[in-house]
Structure 1
Amino acid sequence: MANRTDEDDTRQRIKIAAIQLFSRHGIEGVSVRAILNQASVKNSAGIHYYFRTKDDLIRELVRDALMRTRRARNAALDALEASGARIGVRDIVELIVKVETVGTGDPEQRSDLPIGFGHMRFISVMQLNHRAMFAAAVEAEGDDSFQRCIDHIAAALPDVPRAALNRKLVFFYQFAQASLSAREAAFVLSEDGGRLWGEASALDSLIDSLTASIVGAPSR
């Protein structure tokens, strides 16, 4: 009989295999058998044993992703607030981007997922094609860290009406997610990130662009 450590290791291998495959092929394009093969799990009932169903596995992956981001983002916000420095919009945008792209020392981050937390494409797939399941997971898990970010941005832009700022933030989030998903895919395709993302200044340029999307004056 497998011991607890072996079971935990197998469970984690299944989760890593699933998030990699879902990121590349979408949810519908990945079978349970493909996940088990990728994870080198021979027991055909492996998903049922560890997660009950494929949907339960997906929900756990979403919860894991949200939890890692929330924990890392809150830690970065705590450090930024403790510094006593004035916090501007770019500071918050940089924090949001770097939490997803730079090692944080989070014990949940694994070398198997080298590009930040390695889940941006998976989250994009969920939001595009499985919004109800994703929204339910977000509601159940909660995310005080993103609200903290929004509060800092609003405080830095007191003259911008909240309704207008909220619209900007919706687009900002979509732009950021799409860009970080593209970056992740580029590093999966090529170890050096290719011509765009391999540039040392690429992340700074992204942060500048995202900041401009929030602070830029409306055309009319």
Structure 2
Amino acid sequence: MAVRAERVQATRESILAAAERLFAEHGVFAVSNRQISEAAGQGNTAAVGYHFGTKTDLVRAIIRRHTEDIDRIRTQMVAEVTGSTELRDWIACLLRPNIEHLASLPRPSWFARFSAQVMTDPELRTIMVDESLGEPSLREAVDGMNRCLPELPVEVRMERGEMVRQLVMHMTAERERALAEGTPTARSSWHDAATGLIDAIVGLLLAPVTPAHEDSKEFQ
């Protein structure tokens, strides 16, 4: 029984690794279960469905494969900055756990590019958000960030939140791609890349807001 359980677990891990890579390279819905099974070295083309069910279930399993380590790092960081009134501390809690996790993965890694593919699809994006926001450490970090932000119009806060998500998603995916291809990167390490992103995000969130009536004068 133990040998069979180990064999099943090894098969599941092979499928998850193959699916993550193929989804990162081609997009989730451009890849068939047959292609995943073949890439995972499985002779049975129904192996993906047998072990994971639907493609949505497979995407969720890939996300969960990474979230435990990310949450562990974030939980420790949040505990260290509890009570801080510095926006930068809370932005670091939101960003560095993901990037530290990416830095720990064998190269080439695929998770940043996989995440970017998932976040472009409305249905799959919901899975990513649900799996992430379910972690108490992330909710604490978001609450800490919000306490440090100045009063902003609702539409500005929403707009800048989307800017932050796009910035982080695409910058990490592009860095991961560049490392995989051996092309030059702006920063020498993932740690330094995180520092640069934190600098940019703090500046973005604290940027002045042009009053709507002043902005409209430019087009009169």
Equivalent residue, structure 2, for 1:101: 99
Equivalent residue, structure 1, for 2:123: 132
Equivalent residue, structure 1, for 2:56: 55
Equivalent residue, structure 2, for 1:194: 184
**Per-residue Cα deviation, 1:107-140 (whole angstroms, up to 9, x for no partner):** xx9754665xx422212211212x1233156447
Give distance in 2, aligned partners of 1:198 and 1:62: 27
Structure 1 residues 187 and 87, CA, compared in 2 at 3 Å: closer, same or farther? farther
TM-superposed CA distance for 1:71, in Å, is 4.1
Equivalent residue, structure 1, for 2:140: 148
Q: CA RMSD for the aligned pairs?
A: 3.0
Q: 1:213 aligns with which of 182, 197, 204?
A: 204
Q: How many residues align?
A: 207
Unaligned runs of 5+ in 1: none
Structure 1 residues 132 and 55, CA, compared in 2 at 3 Å: closer, same or farther? closer
Contact 1:21 1:35 in 2 (8 A): yes
TM-superposed CA distance for 1:18, in Å, is 0.5
Unaligned runs of 5+ in 2: 212-220
Contact 1:88 1:156 in 2 (8 A): yes
Determine whether 1:179 maps to 2:179.
Answer: no
Give distance in 1, aligned partners of 2:128 and 2:92: 26
- Percent identity over the alignment is 22
Task: Give the structure-2-normalised TM-score.
Answer: 0.78
TM-superposed CA distance for 1:89, in Å, is 1.5
Higher helix share: 2
Equivalent residue, structure 2, for 1:91: 89
Equivalent residue, structure 2, for 1:204: 195
Give distance in 1, aligned partners of 2:107 and 2:50: 24
Instruction: Return the letter of the residue paired with 2:118.
Output: M
Equivalent residue, structure 2, for 1:36: 37
Contact 1:154 1:162 in 2 (8 A): no
Task: Give the structure-1-normalised TM-score.
Answer: 0.78
Give distance in 1, aligned partners of 2:97 and 2:108: 13
Partner SS for 2:41 = coil
Asked which structure has the greater CA Rg, the reply is 2
